[in-house]
Amino acid sequence: MTLETISAARSFGGTQCVYRHQSRATGTPMTFSLYLPPQATGGTPLPVLYFLSGLTCTHANVTEKGGYQRVCAELGLILVAPDTSPRGEEVADDDAYDLGQGAGFYVDATEAPFETHYGMYSYMIDELPELIGASFPADPRRASLTGHSMGGHGALTIALKNPSLFRSVSAFAPIVAPSRVPWGEKALAAYLGSDRAAWRRHDAVALIEDGARVPEILVDQGTSDSFLERELKPELLAEACAAASIPLTLRMQQGYDHSYYFISTFMEDHLRWHMARLLA
């Protein structure tokens, strides 16, 4: 699989890069950013953390605003940030910000007009990790997931469905129960159809209720997040984890909102939390 280098810049002794490749999962070019820490020259495969972004975002949001490069350089951690959906003139879209391009919801769509290109779930569990492992000094046995909002939904559901692929999972202000909130109901109906039973396979709370397990979860949520009560509902995740005996660290951060000011404040905590588990 051919990688096209879009940009590369030195950062804290490592290199912050952006790449493009032709994706078999989406049938389109896909872009992702990758931070390669200075330890990458040592010959030993390094752990990798995937950051999944939220609605309207691309790889660039966390790359430019997340503030992770210094800590990744210290830890020897590769961080990969994929785009949130396929893009292009031939790719189905919607006039609303919460559906279509920029809003892939990390599912494999089955419904027209999205089924042709919206294969973000397959991209994340199969194609992208394969590409990273083949192209960079990344250890496929030491991979973890995190994400924000829609990307937090993606990180939680992908980890719950693939516990053997990812050692740990965390999230910033995740959509924990998309089957029960407006953002998720709209997207899941459009991508997967009207059968709500199919939605449960892409809903973190429902997956836990149906028996999916991970060793533990870390979630940070701002108390001043304007989407907290209507779209995010972290209390539902807390209830599901308690019933399933999944250790959940849910930190309600006083006064923080949904923005990258919030994410960058607690990014270092998440990086160090994951690294401890990646090295265990």
Strands 78-82 and 138-147: unpaired
Is residue 202 part of the annotated active site? The answer reads no
How confident is the model at residue 209, as a pLDDT?
98
Catalytic residue among 53, 144, 149, 168: 149
- The CATH number of the structural domain formed by 4-278 is 3.40.50.1820
User: Which tokens belong to 175?
Assistant: 């959509």
Catalytic residue among 144, 202, 225, 274: 225
User: Which tokens belong to 138?
Assistant: 């990344």
* pTM flag (> 0.75): yes
How confident is the model at residue 36, as a pLDDT?
98
Is residue 98 part of the annotated active site? The answer reads no
Is residue 94 part of the annotated active site? The answer reads no
Catalytic residue among 153, 258, 270, 274: 258
Torsion region of 37: left, alpha or beta (phi above 0 gives left; psi -120 to 50 gives alpha): beta
CA distance 162 to 156: 10
Q: For residue 5, count CB atoms less than 10 angstroms from its CB and return exposed for 0-12, middle for 13-18, buried for 19 or more.
A: exposed
E strand segments, 72-214: 78-82, 138-147, 169-172
pLDDT tens for 177-194 read 999 999 999 999 999 999
How confident is the model at residue 24, as a pLDDT?
97
Low-confidence ranges of the chain (pLDDT < 70): none
Quote the DSSP letter at residue 67.
-
Contacts of 256 (CB under 8 A, 6+ apart): 222, 223, 224, 225, 262, 265
Helices (H), 1-122: 59-65, 69-75, 120-122
Instruction: Give the closest residue to 87 by CA, choosing from 46, 122, 118.
Output: 118
